[in-house]
Amino acid sequence: MKEPEIAIVVGVGQGLGASICRELWTEGYHIAAVARRPEILNTLAEEAKSAGQQLTPIACDLSDTDSILDAFEVISALDRSITAYIHNAGKFAMEEFLNMQAGTYEDIWRVTCLSAVHFSQLVLPRMVERRQGTLLFTGATAAVRGGARFAAFASAKFALRGLSQSLAREFGPQGIHVAHLVLDGIIDCDWTRERFGVDRDSALWSEEVAKNYRYLMAQHPSAWTQELDLRPSVEQF
């Protein structure tokens, strides 16, 4: 029996990241789930085990290069083909520009974009060798429109979108599908309800958004999507 291929999901929280993991493990992928908080990962690993699926929890500080290298060593030790890298990591901040510390700006960029550079450089050689694989980057409204008080967050998301576009052009001819998803809306989860007061009827449902990641992974090279925008039906745009 063929061993399941690995799908790396970076930035796993209780919302979209967890939903992506669930969506992909039902397709038979071994999930390498990477995040800062081990308690979330361990709970998700137990859920996968109960469902007869495979998920390896990997705690990682995405702002630290050595921590990323350590995380990838764990993934490499699984000794299986990496078929997908999904970058769902990001750090949110909304504050007046003149009050923003340079360290805040740098930290958000490191977590949101630089960690994607590090992981992409680690997974792409393996994908190129097989001439197949998928890289998916989670974007936001801020990736295409920088709003007031979003200088740090928008800059990092713009950078991530630019990285995705560049990698798509460089590695597409080598068989690698690279796509960026613009999530134009607030994802429904506990913390967004508490912070923004959104209700489920006006938000993106993480389990429905996750289906689009699986859809992109299944696309034939003759009709690849390079950018996909998703929003609730009630969202103005």
> What is the pLDDT tens value at each position of the chain, 237 positions in all?
467 899 999 999 989 999 999 999 999 999 999 999 899 999 999 999 999 999 999 999 999 999 999 999 999 999 999 999 999 998 888 899 999 999 999 999 999 999 999 999 999 999 999 999 999 999 999 999 999 999 999 999 999 999 999 999 999 999 999 999 999 998 887 777 777 777 888 899 999 999 999 999 999 999 999 999 999 999 888
The CA distances from residue 219 to 10, 106, 167, in Å, are 21, 35, 17
Domain 6-230 has CATH 3.40.50.720: yes
- Tokens representing 81 are 């083909």
Q: Is the pTM of this model over 0.75?
A: yes
For residue 237, the SS3 value is coil
What is the DSSP-derived secondary structure letter of residue 36?
Answer: S
Going from N- to C-terminal start, the domains of the chain cover: 6-230
User: Which stretches does DSSP call E strand in 155-232?
Assistant: 176-183, 227-230
For residue 183, the SS3 value is strand
Q: Three-state SS string across 140-162, please?
A: EHHHCCCCCCCHHHHHHHHHHHH
